[in-house]
Amino acid sequence: MNRLTSDPKLELCLDFTSNIYQVICARLLNQNNNNAQVVENLQAAWLITNNTHEVQWQQQLQEDQAAITKQQSLIHKETKCQLQASLLKEDWKQNPLKYIPIPDHPVPYNIHDILISDFAFKRVIEGQYVELYYWTNEHLQADE
């Protein structure tokens, strides 16, 4: 379908009684139709065409609005991504240690060699604060 450039509601019905359209009217005249009936038929055909164009015009407006909405959404997403990137960059500048890569290699000691005192374990189960030194072997030996 061709894209319409103007609103069909603003168009006026053509004057099929004028001299310009006499050639068309003459071709449509026959023993069953007189000149007035031919003009009415032409006006009816124009009205049907205009109504079809009005529907097409409404579809065009809806498609244009959808395209504008989609474009605004893409612009909003792009702006949001740029803002997040700038915030991440600013956070990286303020907290560089937060972004140090963690090496992926095995722990240098055997985790089973670390024992937990009963006192520290009980406090953890109860959800209470436990000082860090309770988790070392030296404290476990001193606790005994």
Binning pLDDT at 50, 70 and 90, where does residue 113 land?
Answer: low
Mean pLDDT of the 62-90 span: 96
Q: What residues does each domain of the chain span?
A: 1-74, 106-144
* pLDDT, tens digit (0-9, with 9 covering 90-100), for 50-68: 999 999 999 999 999 999 9
Q: In this structure, how many other beta carbons lie within 10 angstroms of the beta carbon of residue 38?
A: 20
> Cα separation of 66 and 69, whole Å?
5
Report DSSP state, residue 127. T
- Look at residue 111 and tell me whether its pLDDT is greater than 70: no
11-38, pLDDT tens digit by residue?
Answer: 888 888 888 888 888 888 877 778 888 8
Instruction: Confirm if 130 and 123 have CB atoms less than 8 A apart.
Output: yes
CA–CA distance, 88 with 94 (Å, rounded to integer): 10
pLDDT at site 2: 86
Of 36, 59, 43, 41, residue with least CA distance to 11: 43
pLDDT at 107: 60
- DSSP class of residue 16 equals T
Chain position carrying tokens 């072997």: 137
Query: What percentage of the chain reaches a pLDDT higher than 90?
Result: 36
Q: What is the pTM of this model?
A: 0.54
User: Mind listing the pLDDT tens digit for each residue in 38-48?
Assistant: 889 899 999 99
Distance CA 83, CA 77 (A): 10
